[in-house]
Amino acid sequence: MRKAMAENSLWRRRAAYRLAHRSKRNVPMAEYSALSLLRNALSGNRDWTPAWRKPDPKPAYDVIIVGGGGHGLATAYYLAKEHGITNVAVIEKGYLGSGNVGRNTTIVRSNYLLPDSIRFYEHSLKLWENLSHDLNYNVMFSQRGMLNLAHTPGQADDFIRRGNAMRHERVDAEWLTPAEIARQVPGLAIGGTARFPVVGGLLQPRGGTARHDAVAWGYARGADRRGVDIIENCEVTGFLRDGDRITGVKTTRGEIRAGKVGVAVAGSTGQVMKLAGVDRLPIESHVLQAFVSESLKPFIHTVVTFGAGHLYISQSDKGGLVFGGDIDGYNTYAQRGNLPVVEEVMSEMVALFPGLARVRLLRSWGGIMDMSMDGSPIITTGPLPGMYLNCGWCYGGFKATPASGWSFAWTIARDEPHRINAAYTLERFHRGAVIDEKGQGATPRLH
Amino acid sequence: MLITCPYCGPRDVSEFTYQGEAGRTRPDPASTDRAAWDGYVYDRLNPAGEHSEYWQHSGGCRAHLLVKRNTLTHEIASVAFAREDQRIHSAGRRGKGARP
C-alpha cells in the first residue's frame, strides 16, 4: 500500500513535470511524417516550406553564436530547447554546411581511454541515438559498429586496456578475434599474405556513421522553428567592446549587439579570436584531407580503422568508400592539402583491402582542423567577459556535435560548465591538467 | 609543396619534418615564471598569412631550416638555416653568453 502510494506520488510528480515542460519541449515539430510525405507527393512536392528562414539581422540579440557549423547550430538549438533562450542569432560567413560539418568522414563513436573523454563522447553518442526523433529530421544515424584493428600484440594490449576503460564507464566494447573479424569484414587482409596481419580488433557496436549535411540542416531547422535567426553569408569582421567586455559583433551586414557571444568556428578560431585581441591560444590550424571512391556494391558493413598506420574507412549508403588518414602536419588555413598524404592514405587502404587497388577515386577535399595542444577540445566561458569559446576539436568534431552544442548551450545559459565539459577549460594547460589521450604532448601534428 | 633547401635545392615536402612555430623563446631554465613557461609550451600565434616555422630536412641533409610560408596559399617566401635565426637560442643560453 505504502509502495503504491509512493509510486502514485512519483507518477504524479512526473506528470506535473511533463505538464510544466510541455510548452518548451513539445514544440510542434512533426513537419516530416509519412502522412506529410504522401500529402506533398500528391500535390507535386510544391508545398514544402524552406527548412529555415533567411532573416535579416536584428540590431540586438540575447546570444550570438559565431559560426553556423554543426556545433554552432547545435548550440543554438539546445539554447532554445533546453534553456528557453530563443532570441539567438547564428552568424555564418558562408552557407550552412560549407565548413567542416560537410567535410568530415561522418564517423560517430565514443571509444576513448580517459574518463573525461569517455563521459563526454558517450553523452554525445546517447544524444545521437535519439537525434532523428528529437529533430524530426532523418540524420541517417547508422550504428553499424566501429572496429579498430590491432596488428601487433602490444597494440592489442593497448586496445584491450581502452576497451576495459570504456566498460568501466558502462560503454560497449568487445574484443574480436581474427576469425570473427574475417567473418565481419570480407576482403580484409587478415593473415597469411597480409602486409600487416591482424591480431584482433576492438569493436564498439553502438558506433557508426551519420549523414553529415542532414545534421547541419536538422539542427538549423530545429533552431529556426524555435525562433533562432540563422544569418548566412555574414562574416564577422570585429567585436564590439565595452572595456574588456564583448558586447556584440561587427559583420559584413552591420553591427549586431548581444548580451553573450559564443564562438564556435573550429579551424578559423585563430583568425576570429585575433579580431577580439586574443593573439595566442593553445591551438594550431592544420588541414585534414578526406576521400570518396566511386560507388561499389555494399561490402564494408562497419567503420574499420587500420592500426599499422592511420586510416579509417566506411561505405556510404550510396556505395562510395569514405575514408581519410592523418592530417598533413603543418600550419595552414588553405582548405586543400598536398599529395604525399594522399599517396600514404591510398597505400594504407590497399594494404588493408588489397582488392581495392584498382578502385577509382571520385573526389577529395580538405578541411581546417583546430588542433589543440593535448588533442582534447575547449568548451568554456571566456577568455573575455561576455564571450564563450568552443574549439580544439582536432579532427574528431563531427561525433561530438550534439554534446558540444548541448554543453556549450549549458555553459552560455548558466555561465558555468556542465560536469561533462568541466574539464575542457582553457586554463587546464596552465594547471598541467591536460587531457592527452595519446600522451603526445604539446605537438598538435601528432594528435 | 616544394621546399628549397639551401644545401639540396628544391625538394618535395615529404622529405621534411615539420617542427612548428619559429621564434618561441624558452625561458631561462632557472625561471619560475609560470606564465612564461605556459606560454612557451602551449600558446601559439597560429596566423592566417605569413608564418615563420622550423622544418628539418630529415630525408636529406638533416639541416634544420627556418621557413617563411603563407598559411593561406602555401607560398614560401624564404628558406634559411635555422642556426642563423637568433631567436632559437634560449633565454638561458643567451644570458650565460654560451653562444652569440
Candidates A271, A274, A280; nearest CB to B44: A280
Q: A172 with A205: CB under 8 angstroms?
A: yes
Q: Check CB contact of B14 with chain A, cutoff 8 Å.
A: yes
Cα separation, A408 vs A219, whole angstroms: 15
Mean pLDDT of all residues in A280-297: 97
User: How far, in Å, are A163, A168, A393, B39 from residue A113 at the CA level?
Assistant: 8, 10, 17, 28
Whole-number pLDDT of residue A193: 87
Which residues, listed in sequence order, are joined to residue A147 by a DSSP beta bridge? Answer: A203, A304
Reported as type and span, the H/E element at residue A80 is helix A70-83
Give me the DSSP letters along A129-164.
HTHHHHHTS----B---EEEEE-SHHHHHHHHHHHH
Whole-number pLDDT of residue B95: 42
SS3 at position B23: coil
Whole-number pLDDT of residue A9: 53
Mean pLDDT of all residues in A400-414: 98
More confident of the two residues A10 and A424: A424
Cβ contacts of A332 on chain B, cutoff 8 Å: 71-72, 74
Cα separation, A173 vs A141, whole angstroms: 19
pLDDT band at residue A192 under the 50/70/90 scheme:
confident
Closest CA to A289 of A231, A228, A235, A363: A363
Task: Tell which B residues from 26 to 65 touch A, by Cβ distance under 8 Å.
Answer: 34-35, 38-39, 41-48, 51, 53
For chain B, report the end-to-end CA distance as a whole number of angstroms. Answer: 33
Q: Model confidence over A101-115: pLDDT tens digits?
A: 999 999 999 999 999
- Ramachandran quadrant class, A304 (left: phi over 0; alpha: psi -120 to 50; beta: rest): beta
Q: A146 with A159: CB under 8 angstroms?
A: no
Reported as type and span, the H/E element at residue A265 is none
Q: B7 with B63: CB under 8 angstroms?
A: yes
Residues sharing a CB contact under 8 Å with residue A5, sequence separation 6 or more, in sequence order: none
For chain A, report the end-to-end CA distance as a whole number of angstroms. Answer: 59
Cα separation, A343 vs A349, whole angstroms: 10
Which cell numbers hold the place of A246?
564583448
* Binary contact (A331, B1; C-beta < 8 A): no
Q: A77 with A51: CB under 8 angstroms?
A: no
Is the torsion defined by CA of A112, A115, A119, A124 positive or negative? negative
The pTM assigned to this predicted structure is 0.90
Amino acid at residue number A65 = I
Among B16, B44, B51, B58, the strongest candidate for a mutation testing the A interface, having the largest count of A CBs within 10 A, is B44
Average pLDDT, chain A: 93
* Binary contact (B46, A270; C-beta < 8 A): yes
Q: Is the pLDDT of residue A1 over 70?
A: no
Cα separation, A278 vs A299, whole angstroms: 48
> ipTM surpassing 0.85, yes or no?
yes
Candidates A329, A334, A429; nearest CB to B72: A334
Cα separation, A398 vs A369, whole angstroms: 11
* Binary contact (A283, B71; C-beta < 8 A): no
Whole-number pLDDT of residue B88: 59
- Give me the count of residues in chain A: 447
Number of Cα atoms under 13 Å in the Cβ half of residue A155: 16
* Binary contact (A430, B34; C-beta < 8 A): yes
pLDDT band at residue B85 under the 50/70/90 scheme:
confident
* Binary contact (A442, B41; C-beta < 8 A): yes
Planar angle of CA A341, A156, A210, nearest 5 degrees: 55
**Helix orientation angle between A397-414 and A212-225, rounded to the nearest 10 degrees:** 20
Closest CA to A287 of A365, A345, A213, A378: A365
Q: Looking at chain B, which residue has its C-alpha nearest residue A343?
A: B14
Helices (H), A226-301: 269-275
Q: Is the pLDDT of residue B87 over 90?
A: no
Among A275, A278, A326, A333, the strongest candidate for a mutation testing the B interface, having the largest count of B CBs within 10 A, is A333
Whole-number pLDDT of residue B93: 47
